[in-house]
Chains A and B, each alone.
Chain A
Amino acid sequence: MTADDEPIRLLDLGTVDPLRSQTIYHAVGYAMADGSPDTIMLVSPDAPYVSIGRHQDVDREVDREVCAELGFPIVRREVGGGAVYLDGNQLFTQWIFAAEHLPATVEDRFSLYCDTLVSTYRSLGIEAVYRPVNDIQVNGRKIGGTGAARMDQAEVVVGSLMFDFDALTMSRVLKVPSEKFRDKVFQTMSEYMTTMRRELGTPPPRPTVVEAYVAACSAALGRTIEPGELRSDELELAERLDQQFATREWLEEGGGLRRAGVRIHEGVRVAEAAHKAAGGLIRCLAVVRDDRLEDVSFSGDFTARPADVPAQLAEALVGCQVGENALHERVSTYYDQVRPETPGVTAEDWVTAVLQATSTAVPA
């Protein structure tokens, strides 16, 4: 990291259309050549949209009909991660740096990047903390998301400062296995996400946030940050990428990365799976927090007496560590105490259903 004497270019682009809010940082990344400045870009979309991760399959992740009804474009980005609903209540804070001007490992890059967001929130009176690898939280609630990608010579780190967040709309645009799952995603996001509005009542004005953020970046990076302009080659590339990113081919050529469940933040996810037992299908919907079952429910076409066996079992499993032995112990204890009749469904089957819903935990 030897760029101390070179100022960082600040591009504060205000609001741009949804597509451009994605293509512009790709354009600056791909246009980077020897001698190009490192850039910090601030931008918000002027309308809501949905963005999916680089390798995601749009049809598996996003309800395209709902997006069409609501008039939301769907834009695939070259940054990884999951599908996300975005609107003008987020200020995107994109770093487009020469690779050698940022720490070598992804972890160290996120640490530096997230620290600037944490410092910004703290200067605004929000007790944010960095939770490695790439989460920022306030009292256990996530505030914003981050991601990273390589674009030719540039290493790009993206994230946002969250003025507000519409969890209900986010839960509507995701493709989910059931409405119950959608409700659980909404509830869990409402519980485990926060924003400047939630923390402060009224979010600070944008210029105040920008000033705090630029100061935090300058301090963390030890470099001068100077307002600048987009170059003509960057703008031309952005226009070309606007065309490319708007095509159906681009949207649909993700590559089929499946992410089990919906990750709410570093330690919390909502997941569902079905297990076919001899006595019927057991569908398990689970909220996992730090590898423990925070909430779990069972449904399906199995037979159980008494009728509230699924609810009782679910209750018995709350707080249980997600692991075969721990789950088995709780289910067996329940069976020993209650002696329920579940023809064709054994204690093992409940454990399998929970493990199937939860074992495919993929970090996002």
Chain B
Amino acid sequence: MIDPGNGIVHRGCLIPLDLWYDVPRDVWLRPEADGSLVLGMTDVAQTRAGKVLHILFKKIGRRIEAGQSAATIETAKWAGPFPTPVGGTVVATNSDAFDADILVANRDPYELGWLIRLEPDAWDPGAIGLVTGSTAIAHYEHRIEALGVSCVRCAD
């Protein structure tokens, strides 16, 4: 059982309350004290993609436009981008954690398994359709039902 902590679990999918979400892209964002943003795959995203086999990050210092891919992910059966909802400059990647455990995002998508840290061009989450708190929960419950997906920690 997943401990919901400060979030909720819907059909096995953990949705922390304190993060921001791009729900259609299944990306979470966490503003840091220094103004940067940490981004990662949601529980729904890691479930849909399956076990990560390889990840290739955009280089530190690289500028990425909103909607562009900040990393390419290959899972056992699928390959695809990790799109950023916010434009900015890559200031860190979690490559060390993925080097040590390639399944880190499958095991722990919201903490140890973060993907990338960006210095955003701007941070106005509401203006670009990001949601948080109870609004995010409502959006995700609807999305999870619409997708018919039940989350599994693919690494377990």
Q: Evaluate contact between A149 and B47: CB separation under 8 angstroms.
A: no
Given contacts A55-B79, A255-B54, contact A80 B49 (CB under 8 A): no
Interface string of A83-106 (1 = CB under 8 A from B): 000000000000000000001111
Nearest A residue to B147, CB-CB:
A104
Chain B residues whose CB sits within 8 angstroms of the CB of A55 once the complex forms: 53-54, 56, 72, 74, 79
| A105→B81 CA distance, assembly (Å) | 16
Q: Does A133 contact B (CB under 8 A)?
A: yes
Name the distance in Å between B95's Cβ and chain A's nearest Cβ: 11
Mostly, the B contact residues are mixed
Chain B residues whose CB sits within 8 angstroms of the CB of A54 once the complex forms: 72, 74, 79
Question: Size class of B's contact patch?
Answer: 20 to 34
Q: Does B5 contact A (CB under 8 A)?
A: no
| A79→B48 CA distance, assembly (Å) | 16
Q: Evaluate contact between A150 and B79: CB separation under 8 angstroms.
A: yes
Nearest A residue to B56, CB-CB:
A255
Q: Does B2 contact A (CB under 8 A)?
A: no
Q: Evaluate contact between A104 and B149: CB separation under 8 angstroms.
A: yes
| A53→B148 CA distance, assembly (Å) | 30
Chain A residues whose CB sits within 8 angstroms of the CB of B74 once the complex forms: 53-55, 80, 257
Name the distance in Å between B49's Cβ and chain A's nearest Cβ: 7
Question: Size class of A's contact patch?
Answer: 20 to 34
Given contacts A255-B54, A255-B56, A257-B53, contact A106 B78 (CB under 8 A): yes
Which residues 96-121 of A have a CB within 8 angstroms of B?
103-107, 110
Chain B residues whose CB sits within 8 angstroms of the CB of A23 once the complex forms: none
Contact partner of A80 (CB less than 8 A), chosen from B47, B79, B147, B148, is: B79
Given contacts A104-B148, A105-B47, contact A134 B77 (CB under 8 A): yes
Given contacts A80-B53, A105-B48, A255-B56, contact A149 B76 (CB under 8 A): no
Q: Does B80 contact A (CB under 8 A)?
A: yes
Name the distance in Å between A144's Cβ and chain B's nearest Cβ: 15
Interface string of A53-97 (1 = CB under 8 A from B): 111000000000000000000000011100000000000000000
Name the distance in Å between B128's Cβ and chain A's nearest Cβ: 17
Q: Does B94 contact A (CB under 8 A)?
A: no
Nearest A residue to B50, CB-CB:
A106
Chain B residues whose CB sits within 8 angstroms of the CB of A364 once the complex forms: 76
Name the distance in Å between B68's Cβ and chain A's nearest Cβ: 10
Interface string of A127-141 (1 = CB under 8 A from B): 000000110000000
Given A55-B54, A148-B78, 8 additional A-B pairs, CB 8 A: A54-B74, A55-B72, A104-B148, A105-B149, A106-B75, A107-B50, A149-B79, A363-B76
Top 3 A-B pairs ranked by shortest CB distance?
A150-B80, A104-B147, A80-B79
